[in-house]
Amino acid sequence: MSLRHALLGLLADGPASGYDLLKVFDRSLAFVWPATQSQLYGELNRLADDGLIEVTNEGPRGRKDYSITDQGRAELEHWITDVEPDRIRRNDAMLRVFFLGTVGPEHAKAYLEREAAVHEALEELLGTIARDTDWDTNDFNRYGHLVIESGQRYAHAQAEWARWAAARVDDLDKNEAPAPTH
C-alpha cells in the first residue's frame, strides 16, 4: 500500500495531474519506490474513489488535476507517524553472494569487484545530483536531500564492503586448502 501514500505525499505539496506526478516520481521517489505509469494512474482513480484525493480542475487533453482532501492528509500523517514501516529488503545482488562458492574463487572475486564498481559509480552519481540540485526550495526537497545523503552513505558502505569481501575470498580459498608451509 506504499504507492498510495507516496502519491498522497506528493499531492500534499500541491495539486498535480497524473502526468505531473509521474515525472516527479521518476526523478525522486522511484529511487526508493518504483512504480509504472499504469500503476500510478490506477492508484489515483482508487484514491479518488476512496475520497482521499479529488479532481479540482480539468484541463486540455483530458488532464485532471488532483488535490489532497482533509481525509487524505489525515491518512498520510497517520501512515508516517503510526504505521510501522515494512523492513523487507529484497536484494538480488546479495542473494547471489550466498552461492559464490559454486562458481569458484575467480568468478567470486570478479563478481564482488563488479559490485564494488557498481556502487562506486552509484555513489558518484548521487554526489553529482546532491551538488547540482537546489534543495532549499520546499520541505519535499529539503527532506529529499536527506534521502540522497542516505543513498550516498549506503553506496559508499556497499562499495567498501565489496572490496573487502573480494579480498577475503583469497583467505577463504587458502583456508579450504591449507597452505603446505611447515
Partner DNA sequence: TGCCGACATGTCATGAGTGACATATCGGAG
Partner DNA sequence: CTCCGATATGTCACTCATGACATGTCGGCA
d(Cα 93, Cα 113) in Å, to the nearest integer? 12
Site mask, DNA, residues 37-76, x = CB under 7 A? xxx-xx-xx-------------xxxxxx------------
Select the residue interacting with its own copies from 92, 131, 137, 178 (CB under 8 A).
Answer: 92
33 counts as binding its own copies under rule CB under 8 A: yes
When asked if residue 55 is in the footprint of its own copies (CB under 8 A), the reply is: no
Using CB under 8 A, which of the segments 37-45, 58-66, 123-131, 138-146 binds its own copies? 138-146
Residue 24 near residue 31 (C-beta atoms within 8 A): no
Strands (E), the chain: 16-17, 53-58, 64-68
177 binds its own copies (CB under 8 A): no
Q: Does 96 bind its own copies (CB under 8 A)?
A: yes
CB of 178 to DNA, least distance (A): 35
| Residue 163 touching its own copies (CB under 8 A) | no
With contacts defined by CB under 7 A, how many residues of the chain interact with DNA?
26
Listed as own residue / partner, the contacts of 120-129 with beta carbons closer than 8 Å and 24 or more positions apart are 120/155, 120/159, 122/151, 122/155, 123/152, 123/155, 123/156, 123/159, 126/151, 126/152, 126/155, 127/152
- Distance between CA 32 and CA 69 in Å, rounded? 25
128 binds DNA (CB under 7 A): no
How many residues touch its own copies under the rule CB under 8 A: the total is: 64
Residues 82-101 that bind DNA (CB under 7 A): 88, 90
**CB of 123 closer than 8 Å to CB of 156:** yes
